[in-house]
Structure 1
Amino acid sequence: MFSDLQRVLNTYWQQFLFISPKLLIAFVVLVLAIFVANHLSSLIGGKLRAKSHDPLMADFLTRFSKWALILTGAVLAMEVVGLYAIVGGVVAGAGLSAFIVGFALKDIAENFLAGVVLAFNRPFHIHDTVQIKDLVGKVEDLSLRVTIIKTFDGKHIFLPNAMVLREPLINFTRDGYIRQDFLVTVDLGEQGTSQRAADLLLNYVRANPNVEQKEPHTPYVILEKASATTADLRAYFWTFSEDYRRGTLALKSELMRDVKAGLREEGYAVQTVAQ
């Protein structure tokens, strides 16, 4: 029994000695492939970022090229070792393999394909402010699996690419301008008609330097509802939306405070100022 065991171990040892040079070469090929993938993808990424105005696309293609080169190196390493049957089986059985992998890794494959679609035909760029369902924030990155959004309170949300592609997405900053509005209810009293209050309200809105004044983004005021003593006036204004939080939300709050104070100085009793 011991002689048989010794003979088997000796056979395995002889086979290991025979294949060890190939294993060493395969290891070198794999390490070299990883080295080349890292440096070549960095070079490609630098070229793309320098010539492209779309850093999101450049980063995505950089990651994609890196993993494609590493996969190519792994296949070459298997060929060096002599695993022709495995490599051939992978190629020949691509249909069955795709089915098995697709079934086992359905979510990963779905998110990867969605990431490819978003990279080439997507509704946002880096630093755009978007809303997906009830999540609002700035787009920070698009990877092979997730889209990273940073909310205004500093939280990072990792959304699966498939969800981003599937759900309705609102982009607040793509156009460059965004319209906001707020409602002012004033007690007219003895101060005159609703038109005078509307003119004053419009002047206060126009006086803010952050409100866009050029066509077709000029501010305006409409009368929504009027009674014998009160008027509901809604002010509409446009602003540059690159910094959504500061350029729109903070500006709207500032205008609401200024309008309320200004109308009161003119003798109007302001009942409410609301969105």
Structure 2
Amino acid sequence: MDDTPLSLVTGVHEALINYWNIFVQSLPRIGFALTILIASYFIAAYISATIRKRFVNADHDPLFVRFLSKTTKGVLIIVGIILAMQAMGLSGIAQGLLAGAGLSAFIFGFAFKDIAENFLGGLILAFNRPFSLDDTIQIREFTGHVKALNFRTTHIKTFDEKDVFLPNSIVVKEPLINFTRDGQIRLDFVVGIAYEDDITEAISVICRTIEPIATVILEKKPFTVVEELATSTVNLRTYFWANTMDYKKGVLQMKSEVIMKVKEVLVEKGFSLPSDIQEIKWYDPTKPFPIDILNTKDDYPNLR
């Protein structure tokens, strides 16, 4: 009688018993490793929360604090995983992972070059801090409020309610304009008056009109200069400063209000705001000039 099936069953049974014994013997290590993992998670969460509270109160830069807390939490969790593997007797695997991490970084560095570049860009932005949360910035053609700094992208909310996620490498490399860092910006506009008008009086009227509206920052008061003697107007350029903490209201709406008020006051004071004069030259005086002049309704009875 063939006893092969019986020996196979016996072998499987003995193997299961051996695996079970090994598992039971490893329970303390597994429990210790799980304890390390749980402890590392809660320690990382606690340190991350502590960084947020203390750093926000210290320098009032939520953007930097969020990025730093996320990075710290991720690093501590990775350290906890490595310690847990060593506690389970998998130190060789842990060392292999660490060694492989360096090799993988070299091998996959070319494939994931953009990801690594954006992550390093995020670190540079977090520590260099060219902007803070809710600052109004401009990068390329995008202008809006900074909403978040992530590991890979910078989140910008534009004025037309678009969510733009710019790679951190672009934010680091491209010229960046921060409109709200100093809380002020200089604005200007041009208005043209007639040659017959008094330029000195017009400048005085414009400055007196702007001062109650525009935000006067320190000693930077509005002023107006003659910019150009154009074909039909004397162009006056007016400079004034505005508060940029609320860019949409403090800059865009204020500029519109200032221009409307200046136009209204100049017209009220009797200043002319002429349009451009078009000059037509006729180089052959021997030929009649082809033009019709509308004089009366009798010439054009259908015109009402």
Q: Any gaps of 5 or more consecutive residues in structure 2? A: 276-304
Alpha carbons 1:112, 1:145 under 8 Å: kept: yes
Q: CA RMSD in A?
A: 2.4
Q: How many angstroms does 1:251 deviate by?
A: 0.5
Instruction: Using CA pairs under 8 Å that are at least 6 residues apart, name the structure with larger relative contact order, 1 or 2.
Output: 1
Q: Which moved more, 1:130-139 or 1:105-114?
A: 105-114
- Taking the aligned partners of 1:114 and 1:100, their CA distance within structure 2 comes to 21
Q: Tell me if 1:168 matches 2:175.
A: yes
Paired positions, count: 268
Q: Any gaps of 5 or more consecutive residues in structure 1? A: none
- Taking the aligned partners of 1:186 and 1:257, their CA distance within structure 2 comes to 15
Match of 1:55 in 2: 62
Aligned ranges for residues 231-270 of structure 1 at < 5 Å? Answer: 231-270=234-273
Match of 1:212 in 2: 216
- Taking the aligned partners of 1:102 and 1:73, their CA distance within structure 2 comes to 25
Q: Write the deviation string for residues 202-238 of structure 1: whole angstroms up to 9, x where unpaired.
A: 2212232x331642x2211111222575211111111
**2:211 alignment partner, SS class:** helix
Q: Write the deviation string for residues 109-163 of structure 1: whole angstroms up to 9, x where unpaired.
A: 2221111111111311222110011110111222222222222233332222112
Q: Tell me if 1:200 matches 2:201.
A: no
Q: Aligned partner of 2:247: which letter?
A: Y
Give 1 or 2 for the bigger CA radius of gyration. Answer: 2
TM-score (norm 1): 0.87
Identity %: 43
Q: Write the deviation string for residues 162-217 of structure 1: whole angstroms up to 9, x where unpaired.
A: 1211111111122221000111122344xx33332222222212232x331642x2
Structure holding more helix per residue: 1
- Taking the aligned partners of 1:104 and 1:47, their CA distance within structure 2 comes to 38
| Aligned partner (choices 172, 182, 186) of residue 179 of structure 1 | 186
Alpha carbons 2:139, 2:177 under 8 Å: kept: yes
**1:109 alignment partner, SS class:** helix
Q: Write the deviation string for residues 63-111 of structure 1: whole angstroms up to 9, x where unpaired.
A: 1211111111111111122221221123345542321343343332222
**1:221 alignment partner, SS class:** strand
Q: CA distance change for structure 1 residues 30 and 204 in 2, over 3 Å: closer, same or farther?
A: same
